[in-house]
Amino acid sequence: MIECRKMNRESSEDAFSLLRSFLSEDEYYLDSSAVYGGGGEPELRRALDLFLRSPELGFVWLAYFEGEPVGVCMVCFAISTSVGGIVAKLDDVFVIGSKQSQGIGSALLQDLKQELLDRGVLRIDTSVHLQNERAKRFYHQQGFRQLDEEKLACVL
């Protein structure tokens, strides 16, 4: 059974462990991390603490399989002029390797979509590395569509 829920103080170490794996192992994240600012564990801990202190900014969403943390993603909120309301930016979607291709990522996003709908969010935006064909297929299967735009970043 897959259970999904928002991170809280008690589950923040689960989120830390999963996101640390993603940020240190994902070849596509690592390829872009120099532009993103690619901090380390202290930055990850600060980010998780910020989510806990400022839930109006977003949250970390966790997936558990038989009680074990196996998946994670992060959501930040923004206002969109094109839909006239709140949208969610989806980042760092990750399922541990031994649990991939078992429906956990799909369950993670389906439950997340319902959570966001319940909050009145009108759209989810995400990005994917240009070379990550597996992620592109996954997002397309989840109802995401490609935009003819390029993502840019400027670390301040």
- Which of 6, 28, 33, 9 is closest to 118 using CA atoms? 6
| Mean pLDDT on 125-145 | 90
> Domain for residue 66, yes or no?
yes
Q: Domain of 98?
A: 2-141
Higher pLDDT, 127 or 155: 127
The contacts of residue 33 (CB under 8 Å, 6+ apart) are 23
> Domain for residue 45, yes or no?
yes
CATH number at 69 reads 3.40.630.30
> Domain for residue 151, yes or no?
no
Mind listing the pLDDT tens digit for each residue in 77-131? 999 999 999 999 999 999 998 898 899 999 999 999 999 999 999 999 999 888 8
- Distance CA(89)–CA(102), nearest Å, equals 25
Give residue for tokens 């966790």: 62
> Domain for residue 113, yes or no?
yes
Question: Residue 7 has what pLDDT?
Answer: 98
Question: Residue 38 has what pLDDT?
Answer: 67
> Domain for residue 33, yes or no?
yes
Mean pLDDT of the chain: 91
- Distance CA(62)–CA(73), nearest Å, equals 7
Indicate the number of domains in the chain: 1
Mind listing the pLDDT tens digit for each residue in 13-34? 999 999 999 888 877 776 777 7
> Domain for residue 155, yes or no?
no
- Distance CA(139)–CA(90), nearest Å, equals 11
Residue 48's region, left for phi above 0, alpha for psi from -120 to 50, else beta, is: alpha
The contacts of residue 2 (CB under 8 Å, 6+ apart) are 63, 64, 65, 103, 104, 107, 108
- Which of 8, 93, 91 is closest to 49 using CA atoms? 8
> Domain for residue 150, yes or no?
no
Higher pLDDT, 120 or 150: 120
The pTM of this model reads 0.90
> Domain for residue 148, yes or no?
no
Read off the tokens for 68.
């074990």
Question: Residue 97 has what pLDDT?
Answer: 87
Paired with 78 in beta bridges are 87
- Residues 53, 7, 38, 105, Cα dihedral to 10°: -150
Mind listing the pLDDT tens digit for each residue in 50-73? 999 999 999 999 999 999 999 999
The contacts of residue 9 (CB under 8 Å, 6+ apart) are 52
